[in-house]
Structure 1
Amino acid sequence: MVPPSVRGLFRKTPTIAPIPHRSLLSVTGSQASEFLNGIVASSGRVLYDAFVYSHTNPDGKKGYILEYDSRTSEAPPLLSMLKRYVLRSKVRLRDVSEEYDAWAAWGSEKESHWETTRRWDPARSAAIEPVWDSEENQCPWGTTPCILRDRRAVGMGHRLLVKKGSLPQESSTHEIAPSSAYTLHRILHGVPEGVIDIPPMQAFPMDSNLDIMGAPNISSRNKTFWISVCSIITALGHTLTPAPLSDAPLDITPQFPPHLDIRGNIPDTDKGGAQRVRPRGTGKLLTSTNGVGLALLRLQHVRAAEEGQVALEFDLDGNDNGSSWQVAHWYPDWWPVLPAEVVQ
């Protein structure tokens, strides 16, 4: 349930915004489909979280465009890495980042005919996976060239590729917002994206909720005794005293750097006693803005925080010298209910 103090951050009008930090690769050739099917992994650590658009070039030849985060990371450059796997395949790879821009559009009533309440199937694999309603066997992501239904979360809208420097057709009916509006939009819907939220060479798909967001099947990943999840967080101020979420608007907060450690501190109710030992392990602050953000948290810490046993906190300087900010988590409305045996 979205806390009342955060509801005012949601845009109430149809909106389009450019998606920041994106690069684009064209994949064409008679074996383009087979090539992509072979490189999209179903397990292991994430190198890139990418979107695949259908595309038709000016010559009428069908192919695909890969959209991915262009920021430098520990992962090898995507274009040079893919070229190593082409071998003798009839595939052509080309960077088209200077030909197209990536945009997001959301908030239109037209999306309601395909965006439905999520249904879940926890039985096919160790992961909890969405069950898509059949629409004449149409792909849940749509089949229109250069347009994707963003099914990662209910309410995310569309992703679009448009000619460099042009505006999407929706610009006549939607409010045009900056890229920061898209970042806030996906945070409010609990959607991690890119190298900050899904660190290349480090993150596992299920750690970043890719299983419930409709990514390729990752059933070979087993759930362990604890599981990390991306939860929306809000910093409630410089205090070590637990503070509940309220109807009051969020205070203006500083911009937090990513990957700060989030601890589960035990509140010290016995003023005369010694400091008690903190729970083992930490979470990580990911992308944040406007006082809200995403965090990678241990489910054990989440359960303990909900029961009032720990307070989730992070320090701006990392030295635990009193500059702590408290974190309050919540679950997006569209998430599945996790089985009790997973959360414990």
Structure 2
Amino acid sequence: MAAAALLRSAFRELSSTACGWRLRAALRRRLIHSPSHRGADSAESAAWTCFPLGDRALVRVRGPDSAPFLLGLLTNELPLPGPVAGVSKPPARAGYAHFLNVQGRTLYDVILYGLPVCTDEAPTFLLECDASALGALQKHLALYKIRRKVTVEPSSELHVWALLPSTSGASEAEPLLQAKAEGAAVLTRDPRTACMGWRLLTRDEDPALMPGGRLGDPQDYHRHRYQQGIPEGICDLPPGVALPLESNLAFMHGVSFTKGCYIGQELTARTHHMGVIRKRLFPVRLAGPLPASGIAPGSPVLTESGKVAGKYRAGQGDVGLALLRSEKIKCPLHIRTSDSGQVAVTASVPDWWPTATK
């Protein structure tokens, strides 16, 4: 604890210079990977684990036409901040959606933040996306901007954090969380499912900004979401390949079937109303000797008789996601590795899915 206090003090003393900023970043990396820090702030004494998501980026869309502009491109309604009794400036709201191509396949998955504005200000939205897709998403938005009064720009001053509750003490700390962390620009529940906790956007990189929280390793965050069956980013949702309903977009509250038209709507609506989705992304666990480089994305998942049941999509270690035929998930499945070995694949149905699908 004393070492952590000294490091936090170093953050404050060094924050005023450019050199100090670089040193602060180095110290932060050491905090993230330091076993002693994780041991001192154990899960038993912390209600929340705060994960810095450096692989996520933000795009700001603002202007008088920003709402209709985004509605014509996204699968979901916009998370507009509504009035709150006794509050002059309501908190930001979040939503989940995909951008689709004209064939109805996913291009980019985004978490949307509707920012509160005064009556004389133009609507402003933040789009959280895969950092490696930031440039492509900006080009996509510029392509359809045409003459609309909309400004699209990166929001590099903000950092994305995921907050997951620890096994104990989270319910008692939730009032503190709802009161907002020091320095937070946006703090809101993850719109996809309750098991993904909260999303925090802040200008401060100091991990001590959240009361009652401890710093977590981002790899643990990704492992958690793979176990829960949550796809995120272009590795899990390959642009132009993934279909939104097969990717469980409806389960994650990411599509509206009553909103106005948007690009790619026809196939999505037709699939929904037909009610037949034969394949879905399932969380899977791998057992057996794994290749040093991991399982290659797109590797066929086979039944015991050698028939193709689906494809492995992405993962981390022995957990991941696979696009599988629903009727095959209870069968013995495996993946053949490059060295002629086999890795057993066990698929599961997440607890948070609608009961009718189980």
TM-score of the pair, normalised by structure 2: 0.65
The total of aligned residue pairs comes to: 263
Report which structure shows greater RCO (CA 8 Å, sep ≥6). 1
Secondary structure at the counterpart of residue 226 of structure 2: helix
1:8 is matched with none
Conserved? CA contact 2:189–2:197, under 8 Å: yes
Identity, in percent, stands at: 27
- Structure 2, gaps ≥5 residues long: 1-42, 77-99, 176-183, 258-267
- For 1:160-309, list aligned pairs within 5 A: 160-163=200-203, 165-167=205-207, 169-170=209-210, 172-217=211-256, 220-222=269-271, 227-238=278-289, 254=292, 256-266=294-304, 278-279=306-307, 281-303=308-330, 305=331
Cα offset, 1:187, TM superposition: 1.3
Structure 2 residue 354 is the aligned partner of structure 1 residue 336: yes
Q: Deviations over 1:145-187 (max 9, x none)?
A: 62331132232111111115344732x3111012112111211
Q: Deviations over 1:284-316 (max 9, x none)?
A: 22332242222111113214x1xxxxx211123
- For 1:95-114, list aligned pairs within 5 A: 95-96=154-155, 98-107=156-165, 108-109=170-171
Structure 2 residue 128 is the aligned partner of structure 1 residue 67: yes
Conserved? CA contact 2:160–2:201, under 8 Å: yes
Change in Cα spacing, 1:258 to 1:207, as seen in structure 2 (3 Å) is farther
Secondary structure at the counterpart of residue 155 of structure 1: helix
Q: For 2:67, which of 18, 22, 33 is the aligned residue? A: 33
- Structure 1, gaps ≥5 residues long: 1-10, 114-143, 239-251, 267-276, 306-310
Change in Cα spacing, 1:189 to 1:178, as seen in structure 2 (3 Å) is same
For residues 195 and 220 of structure 1, the distance between their equivalents in structure 2, rounded to whole angstroms, comes to 23
2:113 is matched with 53
2:53 is matched with 19
For residues 340 and 292 of structure 2, the distance between their equivalents in structure 1, rounded to whole angstroms, comes to 16
* Larger mean Cα displacement after TM superposition, 22-31 or 224-233: 224-233
Change in Cα spacing, 1:221 to 1:255, as seen in structure 2 (3 Å) is farther
For residues 52 and 198 of structure 2, the distance between their equivalents in structure 1, rounded to whole angstroms, comes to 12
Secondary structure at the counterpart of residue 146 of structure 1: strand
Cα offset, 1:207, TM superposition: 1.0
Q: Give the residue type in structure 2 aligned to 1:285.
A: Y
Change in Cα spacing, 1:301 to 1:226, as seen in structure 2 (3 Å) is farther
Structure 2 residue 336 is the aligned partner of structure 1 residue 315: yes
RMSD: 3.2
Conserved? CA contact 2:67–2:123, under 8 Å: no
For residues 341 and 216 of structure 2, the distance between their equivalents in structure 1, rounded to whole angstroms, comes to 34
Secondary structure at the counterpart of residue 295 of structure 1: strand
